[in-house]
Structure 1
Amino acid sequence: MALLTRSCLFLHVCFTLVVISVDFAQADSDWSQYVNIFQGTEGGGNRFPGVVAAPFAMVKLGPDMRNGDANAYSGYLPEGNIFGFSMMHESGTGGAPKYGVVSQMPVVGVPISLEDLSQPRASPDEGGVGYYKSFLANGVTVELAATEHAGLYSYDFPQDSVSSVVVDVSHVLPSFRGFGWEQHYSGGNFSLFEDGHYEGSGIYNNGWNLSPDWTIHFCGRFNQQPWEYWAFYGNSSVPGTSVSGSERLGGVFTFSGPKVASRVGISFISSQKACENLEEIAEDTEILALADVAKTRWNKEVLNKVQISSDNVDDLQLVYSSLYGMFLIPSNRSGENPGWSSSEPYYDDIFTLWDTHRCHTALFQIIQPEAYEEFIRSLIDIWRHDGFMPDARSSNYNGRVQGGSNADNVLADAYIKGVRGSIDWEDGFSAMQTDAEVVPPNNFDPNAPDSSTKEGRGALPDWLQYGYITPRFSRAVSQAVEYSTNDFGLHQVAAGLGKSTEAETYLNRSQNWRNHWNPAATSYDHAGFVVPRLENGSFVPQDPANCGGCYWSDAYYEDSSWVYSMNAIHDVAELKKRVGGDARFVDRLNKIFELGFFDAGNEPSFVTPYLYNFVQGEQWRSVNRSRDIGALYNAGPRGLPGNSDAGAMESNLLWQMIGLYPLTGQTTFLILAPWFESMTMDLGNGKKLEIISSGGNRNTTFYVQSLKVNGETWDRAWLTWDDIFANGGTMQYVLGERPVHWATGDLPPSPASD
């Protein structure tokens, strides 16, 4: 049985052109061979395909394209001119690009003009875990590898040509959307030294999170002394070896041979620290050797944590490509925080907890529990020094908040699932209370100037005064639904810490989504929806099927009332009563799909398909919806049904494969049906979850007939963290072709409904 060849793995088109078989036992040692780094890079997935040497590595080294706004948001597209290979990128985000800084661009000959050095490709890019390769039309082949804080470039120029590399400090990823979210270069400095290395820094601002000026330092060395080099300012060379200012600046290095290698370190602290980081890559390091180190780390820290019984190549590629895509960002910048000195871990590039709190962070905890504890500690430490935890953060700056203060949900989820370690949970609760009680200063975001979009809860004044949010605040209804779940998170932590008064206060506040419920609002034969409400208590006439632009200035953000009315996942029993009982609840869920309100690529819809589990005898419908959603994914470049959103989309798929779905801020997992005959999840400390099924076929025979959990017959369509994750466990399914009513026990809890 043949294994995938290295050359095929590096070429992303092979995933659709090659049919091969796999030696499952041999593959056990290197799951990275099944990762398609190009998964979700096209069709709006926006995933970054370049080199990320380890989960959450600070350096993300890859190509930058110029192709209108389609270059948003990771820098990559299969078409368009490459105008540099830069050291920092985001992955899978929407809004507008961020980073694309500390760039190099190879040029054949001595560049006369620096205005446009971009090049089309001669053939498609190739790559695998820890490795990237581009073939430029000018005959230059570029190979990339990296460590966590440094990058390695290898250039192969045409024979008998003059070989030049341009280092451009002003290089950033552009945006043409016209929303005022484009990045700006503010200035920089660049110095050449007698031994041939260079140092400098660049200052940049704005981007999607509207950050003020921030600085990145760099230090670079080539593997040979250039026969000519000079600094430039604007489009002209300058005398001397140092240059600084707000015009375009950098350096040009020219070599006589066709093969050139370059090492670059970056740091948020200083150029000296960047030079220290550069030494993560030894002078004689080969590209493929460094790539092998990256593969080893990804296998050990992520990919080996999940193993499936299938030897189907499509299955293996989908599982491991999705796992890889989950852990590209945030960025672990511990030791690289320029804002304050702290012994706590520091994570940045959080895009965004609005996207990831629903299902990504729950799987993050399971796959990488040590890093997850660090992440929670980092959120709390940001509050200690910046005043608020982030809902989103990049370039060491909070912003932007799309809905609620969803770090509250993440902390609550961690607390009730037993994450302790070195976390100061008294400080954690204080950070959550800041979100719940302190109005953040208005940052006057042009897209939502009514209140802060930087951090916290901008519409808190109405929330505290009325128990709902009036239309004087943008996104009033969707924010109110999210504030309710945020307050439920505070209730959970307060109760665990023995703060009974606060626990009761926030439990009551978590029911405030009900204050937006207008029983007279009707749509498609259903009555009762969350709608805008005025100061005098009257409801605004609202078609629940219409959310206007569904964007920053509207009453609902990125979804309609049909979806947001079903988003109070801590209060589902009350929701069912308001909808009209079980039968009407099922009919409303059906209509969300039949009428096109459901969007598998949009996070507010994520939990909707599985709410059938709250009705006796209807769990099979959740399984059916789950299979429909899974069919929207594949391991190819267009394999995601929406923005990756920092791995949110990939984690959503992985939960379908596992056959469970988490309810954030609760210990409850809704039971679906697993994809594979067996899956083993390594939970750390010798604990494992084993999921086994018999009688099933992923595409046609997938309905649960019976289930045993830890050897005991199970009659509930849900289970808890303690049942299978806290100490490990087993789930044994019998699957069949037709639905049966196997879940005759208690319904999932609705903790806010009493």
Structure 2
Amino acid sequence: MPSKRQSSLSRLLFWLTVFESPCLVSTAASKQGRAQQPLWSFVDPLIGTVGPRPGSAIAGGNSFPGASLPWGMAKPGIDTSYIGLPNGSAVDANAGYTPLGNVMAVSMTHVSGSGGAPTYGLISQMPLFGNLASVNLADNMTYAQNRSLHLESATVGLFTTTLQNGIKIEITSGNHTGFMRYTFPNPETSKNQSAFNVDSTMSEPLTTNEHDAHVLVDLTHVLPAYSTMAYSQKYVRGELHVRSSSNSLPSYYGSATYAGGWPQPDAHTIHFCGNFSVPAGSVLTPTSDHVQQSPNMVPGAGTFTWQHNPFLPLSFTARPVPRGYSDLRSYSGSGMGLGALFSWSSTQERVNGSLTLEAKLGISYISAAQACSHVQEELPHAKSFDDIVAHGRQEWEDKILSKIQIGDDGDATSNNATLKRMLYSALYQTGLMPIDKTGECPVWNSSDSKPYYDDHYTLWDTRTPAFYLDLFPSSPRKASCPLAVQNWNGRVQGGTHADMVLADGFVKSVRALSGETGRGELDSRIDWEEAYRAVMKDASVMPERNADPVAFDGATKEGRGALDDYLSLGFITRNHTRSVSRGVEYPQNDFAIYSMAHGLKKSQEAVNQMRERASWWQNQWNPTANTTLKGLGIFTGFPGPRNADKTWNVTAYDPLSCGTCGWDADIYEAKIWETAFSVAPHDMAKVIDVMGGDEAFVRRLDASFMPGLGTSVGANNDAGSALFNPGNEPSFATPFLYNYVPGMHWKTVNQTRAIVDAFYTDARNGYPGNIDGGALPSWLVFNLMGMFPVPGQPLYLLSAPRFSWLKVSLFSGTAAETWLTIRARNLSNACHYPQKVTWNGQELDRAWLKHSEMAQGGELVFYMGDEPKRWDVGKRPWSLSAASL
């Protein structure tokens, strides 16, 4: 579920071609005569699934490694339970996957890279094998299976794992469908289903058979929140119908309603439609030995119910009750869990053929009939499992991966396999979220002409830079996204950052503050007046105060919960949680609204009002707050909490800390020191001024990257030991801020290279923290390209590329489609400092580009050397206080 459900502005698309360096003599073979390696082969979906501790998911990227199409609604993958740790604790499996967890199910819905309590893991199957006498189908602890990591793999479009009992699970997907292939072991070599010893599978003894294969459907299955049970998801009600399909094998359909999860949404219903098939060569046939006999039974299928209570411990003694009918329904408050068991036996006592079963499962937020239609359209009978895998890989190549192609001329930088894997894996992970639910919104009608994207989890994370990687659409369909604002909001950590996303699209595609107009990068059907009304509501209407156990003032669902202080005082007091975060983020949102008001030619009063409010971050800036760093001296001036009488509240205040860093703290998931650099990306000239001028600003930046000065505090999950946190969104732009001081670009190059090399790899622990729905991967993509977007402004700060030649397709599929070529001449590990930079042949004296320049297409060339050079002595990047409009 989303934090703030807004339409996506769509995906950044790139195109890269071959480069023959005029500066380096290559002894490698030329590209000619070598086979092109498919770009999907450079993607490792398992990057980001492991944390700093080998084999552990703790503090990892929470990346989703299962199967998905670009922005696909269906994300089928394994759900694991990471429990039984030495200290008796458990770890949340936010994306379902953990490297050491036991497999509990294969479910259809997942997010990628989220923190907080898990969301989704809904609509599941679980393959079981052999004798079920020791299994309680209502208790997943009795059938959970470990798996063999050396037999586990993830590639684009295909996830494969083998359970300890020998069942091989292969998963691929369509946009709204999952396609699972279960291969069961030869009974003579298989292991027992479970080591748990319970009385029986169900409340009545059933026939068991060592040779039989099963698939369990359990509508109550969710990804639980072990760490914060108050936010854990809960099954509410459902219905399940079992039928015989056209191939005489069992099928099923129905719906289930769930509540809870990190964003605490209203209860939502998801519909499903599943069927099974036995591929050629398999010797499985349905068996009814495991179901209650009844006149209307479906061969090979049986239904059951049990008393379900999500608040009970993981293991309990309730036994399912077999039902003699094929239609089940439970109601809210009934406490009834619904399930079905589908069983097959081999046609031979000693198995000579394969024991393979295929399952197709569709989902929909509209109806079970629509879920069934998705199965028919996306997984037609004429297409094999391998066909669907190949189709998925082609989709990723066409829509995302082929838009960045690295010149392959034999140059060492072009053929750096590690950087290639990092680039394409990161680019892949930016395409997992948000999720395309066009035609799947149960609240209002969405269609191809009005696309609908959600699961922006969360805009606090993805506003920089993931959504600016979204600026350049891959197709007119995605470019035409309208504003989509509904009451499915999740949680708002600080400001209302949908304002930033909308304004960013506006100033780049319609009209910037400078008066420059866009080139039609976004579709003309976007209703910017509607967008303006939405952001003005954020800026002026106090939301209802929802109850939240971690924030005493509530109002964490939508809007700006501290508007009462903000509008009356111009700052926010400790009468509100996260007062410092909100006090500096609301003005950023107001600057975004100011940009839209100016471009839409609103009244001068409205324009002036929002421009003034864009400077209110200064009201949250304590000019006397200070801290001392050993060996570096005193640093003065930081954002801080205030009292209503305008005095500063310094109780339990430390610029080097964020307290608990959570919802109840002064500042959300960032140290005061970190936040000082991100208080006003729209007015860095003023930020430099309040920090003491250029020299003091650079000195403070330098201190940010020195190891040993920072500590990991509370929920902040710091990576490294510096005050700068490479895995934290408020720190994302910090290494680029040297560009605001003439002659300091070389320090931007130093720090960005050092960060990538120290904290990003192509290993499974290759990210410095959870990837936040694509935020960290998009930061990496921009850094490997050699630039970074300033949020809410048509401005890109330059660093230096890590490849010799990239060619980027901008606005692919629109009338504004054009090409951007990025070259780095004489690039090597030793020669990575720009000596000069040209744009379309004209030498630059500034380390930034306007969007209006880049959007025209052209060639950006960096001439590299082995020593820093102060080439960037010209005009500084735009700032509000230094602008004349």
**Do both share a fold (TM > 0.5)?**
yes
Match for residue 738 of structure 2?
A: 612
Match for residue 722 of structure 1?
A: 852
Match for residue 244 of structure 1?
A: 329
TM-aligned CA deviation for residue 371 of structure 1: 6.1
State the secondary structure of the residue aligned to 1:656: helix
Check the 8 A contact 2:480/2:524 in 1, yes or no.
Answer: no
Q: Does 2:605 correspond to 1:501?
A: yes
**Counterpart Cα distance in 1 of 2:804 and 2:690:** 40
Question: What is the percentage of aligned positions where both structures have the same residue?
Answer: 37
Match for residue 479 of structure 1?
A: 582
Q: 1:34 aligns with which of 24, 42, 61?
A: 42
Match for residue 266 of structure 1?
A: 363
Q: Does 2:444 correspond to 1:314?
A: no
Match for residue 417 of structure 1?
A: 508
**Counterpart Cα distance in 2 of 1:753 and 1:216:** 52
Q: Does 2:273 correspond to 1:219?
A: yes
Check the 8 A contact 1:477/1:532 in 2, yes or no.
Answer: yes
State the secondary structure of the residue aligned to 1:402: coil
Deviations 1:318-348 (A, max 9, x none): 1110100011011100111111224522112
Check the 8 A contact 1:22/1:313 in 2, yes or no.
Answer: no
Match for residue 581 of structure 1?
A: 693
TM-aligned CA deviation for residue 411 of structure 1: 0.5
CA 1:442–1:551 in structure 2 vs 1: closer, same or farther (change >3 Å)? same
Check the 8 A contact 2:70/2:399 in 1, yes or no.
Answer: yes
Match for residue 343 of structure 2?
A: 254
Q: 2:146 aligns with which of 116, 120, 124?
A: 120
Which one-letter code corresponds to 2:673 in the other structure? W
State the secondary structure of the residue aligned to 1:217: strand
Match for residue 251 of structure 2?
A: 197
CA 1:74–1:516 in structure 2 vs 1: closer, same or farther (change >3 Å)? same
Check the 8 A contact 1:23/1:311 in 2, yes or no.
Answer: no
Check the 8 A contact 1:661/1:669 in 2, yes or no.
Answer: yes
Check the 8 A contact 1:203/1:214 in 2, yes or no.
Answer: yes
Check the 8 A contact 1:469/1:476 in 2, yes or no.
Answer: yes
Deviations 1:307-326 (A, max 9, x none): 12212321221111010001
State the secondary structure of the residue aligned to 1:441: coil
State the secondary structure of the residue aligned to 1:366: coil
CA 1:420–1:158 in structure 2 vs 1: closer, same or farther (change >3 Å)? closer
CA 1:689–1:271 in structure 2 vs 1: closer, same or farther (change >3 Å)? same
Deviations 1:87-138 (A, max 9, x none): 1100000001111111111111253431222111134421211111110111
Deviations 1:284-328 (A, max 9, x none): 432221010001110000001111221232122111101000110
TM-aligned CA deviation for residue 28 of structure 1: 4.7
Which one-letter code corresponds to 2:663 in the other structure? W
Match for residue 232 of structure 1?
A: 304
Match for residue 393 of structure 1?
A: none
Match for residue 745 of structure 1?
A: 874
Which one-letter code corresponds to 2:400 in the other structure? V
Higher relative contact order (CA 8 A, sep 6+): 2
**Counterpart Cα distance in 1 of 2:29 and 2:91:** 36
**Counterpart Cα distance in 1 of 2:357 and 2:623:** 70
Match for residue 164 of structure 1?
A: 214
Match for residue 114 of structure 2?
A: 93
Check the 8 A contact 1:687/1:727 in 2, yes or no.
Answer: yes
CA 1:520–1:626 in structure 2 vs 1: closer, same or farther (change >3 Å)? same
Match for residue 145 of structure 1?
A: 172
Deviations 1:608-637 (A, max 9, x none): 111111111111111111001111111221
Gaps of 5+ in 2: 1-27, 52-59, 84-89, 188-210, 279-284, 289-300, 307-319, 347-354, 408-413, 510-521, 629-633, 710-721
Q: Does 2:97 correspond to 1:70?
A: no
Q: 2:556 aligns with which of 429, 446, 453?
A: 453
Equivalent positions of 1:283-682 (< 5 A) are: 283-309=381-407, 310-343=414-447, 344-366=450-472, 368=474, 370=476, 373-375=479-481, 377=482, 380-382=483-485, 385-386=486-487, 397-418=488-509, 419-499=522-602, 500-524=604-628, 525-541=634-650, 542-567=653-678, 568-594=680-706, 595=709, 596-631=722-757, 632-682=759-809
TM-aligned CA deviation for residue 244 of structure 1: 2.1
TM-aligned CA deviation for residue 21 of structure 1: 11
TM-aligned CA deviation for residue 410 of structure 1: 0.4
State the secondary structure of the residue aligned to 1:186: strand
**Counterpart Cα distance in 2 of 1:223 and 1:179:** 38
State the secondary structure of the residue aligned to 2:880: coil
Check the 8 A contact 1:110/1:254 in 2, yes or no.
Answer: no
State the secondary structure of the residue aligned to 1:197: strand
Check the 8 A contact 2:91/2:226 in 1, yes or no.
Answer: no
Match for residue 16 of structure 1?
A: none
Farther-moved stretch of structure 1 (262-271 vs 173-182):
173-182
Check the 8 A contact 1:403/1:479 in 2, yes or no.
Answer: yes
CA 1:157–1:143 in structure 2 vs 1: closer, same or farther (change >3 Å)? same
**Counterpart Cα distance in 1 of 2:35 and 2:179:** 28
- Aligned-pair RMSD on alpha carbons? 1.8
Which one-letter code corresponds to 1:266 in the other structure? I
CA 1:177–1:570 in structure 2 vs 1: closer, same or farther (change >3 Å)? same
Which one-letter code corresponds to 2:102 in the other structure? N
TM-aligned CA deviation for residue 533 of structure 1: 0.7
TM-aligned CA deviation for residue 27 of structure 1: 6.2
Farther-moved stretch of structure 1 (253-262 vs 115-124):
115-124
**Counterpart Cα distance in 2 of 1:483 and 1:598:** 23
Q: 2:132 aligns with which of 76, 89, 111?
A: 111
Check the 8 A contact 2:222/2:235 in 1, yes or no.
Answer: yes
CA 1:562–1:153 in structure 2 vs 1: closer, same or farther (change >3 Å)? same
Q: Does 2:66 correspond to 1:50?
A: yes
Which one-letter code corresponds to 1:530 in the other structure? P
Farther-moved stretch of structure 1 (481-490 vs 562-571):
562-571
**Counterpart Cα distance in 1 of 2:454 and 2:826:** 45
CA 1:576–1:27 in structure 2 vs 1: closer, same or farther (change >3 Å)? farther
Check the 8 A contact 2:451/2:478 in 1, yes or no.
Answer: no
State the secondary structure of the residue aligned to 1:193: strand
Gaps of 5+ in 1: 1-19, 387-396
Check the 8 A contact 2:177/2:362 in 1, yes or no.
Answer: yes
**Counterpart Cα distance in 2 of 1:583 and 1:157:** 68
Check the 8 A contact 1:365/1:372 in 2, yes or no.
Answer: no
CA 1:371–1:659 in structure 2 vs 1: closer, same or farther (change >3 Å)? farther
Which one-letter code corresponds to 2:611 in the other structure? L
**Counterpart Cα distance in 2 of 1:24 and 1:209:** 52
TM-aligned CA deviation for residue 23 of structure 1: 6.8
CA 1:342–1:55 in structure 2 vs 1: closer, same or farther (change >3 Å)? closer
Check the 8 A contact 1:351/1:646 in 2, yes or no.
Answer: yes
**Counterpart Cα distance in 2 of 1:640 and 1:400:** 24
State the secondary structure of the residue aligned to 1:212: coil
Check the 8 A contact 1:110/1:163 in 2, yes or no.
Answer: no
CA 1:25–1:96 in structure 2 vs 1: closer, same or farther (change >3 Å)? farther
TM-aligned CA deviation for residue 248 of structure 1: 2.5
State the secondary structure of the residue aligned to 1:735: strand
**Counterpart Cα distance in 1 of 2:583 and 2:29:** 51
CA 1:296–1:147 in structure 2 vs 1: closer, same or farther (change >3 Å)? same
Q: TM-score, normalised by structure 1?
A: 0.92
- The count of residues paired between Structure 1 and Structure 2 equals 717
State the secondary structure of the residue aligned to 2:877: coil
**Counterpart Cα distance in 2 of 1:405 and 1:263:** 40
Higher helix share: 1
**Counterpart Cα distance in 2 of 1:99 and 1:36:** 23
**Counterpart Cα distance in 1 of 2:33 and 2:692:** 53
